[in-house]
Amino acid sequence: MTLPVEFQNEPPSKLSLKNVSKTFGAGTRGVQALDRVSLEVGESEFVCLVGPSGCGKSTLLNIIAGLESADAGQVIADGAPVTAPGRDRMMMFQESALFPWLNVLNNVLFGLKLKAGLTRADRKEVAQFYLKLVGLEKFQHAYVHELSGGMKQRVALARALAPNPRVLLMDEPFAALDALTREQLYGDLQRIWAERKKTIVFVTHNVREAACLGDRVILFSPHPGRIRQEFRVDLPRPRDINSVALARHASVITAALKNYAAGGPAEAAE
């Protein structure tokens, strides 16, 4: 790997999930987290998974990341089955999971140091490029405890982007932030997504957030986790979470969500 290659966008992935099932525990105590979930995600598509807690959406994300394995079914990224974590699929969590013993720059460098073929100077340049992308180049020498919640998530985003993955997996990354910070990050994420062309799978339980960010919103229902319905969001970007058109989309999705929560019948995908 050389520096110019690092700055090119890796071609975004196509993900294909086929009948993925996962049960935690065994016997009568077992909880079926996912029941035959199938999903296609296109290149550089932004897909949001929405559902109440316990619907298995985070589990599904972990399986795509390769952090957990499915009991049945397959996850295929660019034609190859996923069996282990890989740098082509980077993950972001609700907690920033930044390392407190490293400063901001070294946190972003962590993944880059594990990538072969880059010199020290190259790696630093790449890391600083991504810190600039998230607007934190001035904070590269700060330690994690000195950052606000929103800044931590920006660093985590830079750290996830730095190894130049094809897929970004985001597990409720903004859930713990205040509304104002969250809105800023919606704007940043859309800008970065447009600039760096990643395939993004984004888990949330916030319907408006999903409608604001996703090309498609996939609705899950719990016990066992199943895909219930899909919604396409055809609004121009960048989207404002406070816009009326977006609220209209969100209210349709919310109505469906409530319907399933009340035990309503399954509907065919849109």
Catalog residues that contact another protein under the rule CB under 8 A. 65-67, 85-87, 89-91, 93, 95, 97, 99-103, 110-111, 114-115, 143-146, 159, 163
Cβ distance to another protein smaller for residue 146 or 270: 146
Q: Which is nearer to another protein, 38 or 53 (CB)?
A: 53
DSSP letter assigned to residue 103: B
Closest distance to another protein from the beta carbon of 67 (Å): 6
Measured in whole angstroms, the distance separating CA 24 from the mean position of its chain's CA atoms is: 23
Q: How far is the CB of 152 from another protein (least distance, A)?
A: 12
Q: How far apart are the first and last CA of the chain?
A: 43
CB of 46 to another protein, least distance (A): 19
DSSP per-residue letters across 232-258: E----SS--TT-HHHHHHHHHHHHHHH
**DSSP sequence for 185-198:** HHHHHHHHHHHH--
The CB-of-269 to another protein minimum distance in angstroms stands at: 30
Residue 125: CB atoms within 10 Å: 14
Structure tokens at 220: 């899950």
CB of 145 vs another protein, minimal distance in Å: 3
CB of 93 to another protein, least distance (A): 6
Judge contact between 67 and 73, C-beta under 8 A.
no
The count of other CB atoms within 10 Å of the CB of residue 254 is 16
Residue closer to another protein (CB basis): 94 or 254: 94
Is the CB of 29 or the CB of 101 nearer to another protein? Answer: 101
Check: CB of residue 173 under 8 Å from CB of residue 48: no
Instruction: Kindly tell me which of 35 and 172 has the beta carbon lying closer to another protein.
Output: 172
- Residue 150: partners with Cβ closer than 8 Å, 6 or more residues away: 177, 178, 181, 182, 184, 185
Q: How far apart are CA 89 and CA 82, in angstroms?
A: 10
> Considering beta carbons, is residue 115 or 197 the nearer one to another protein?
115
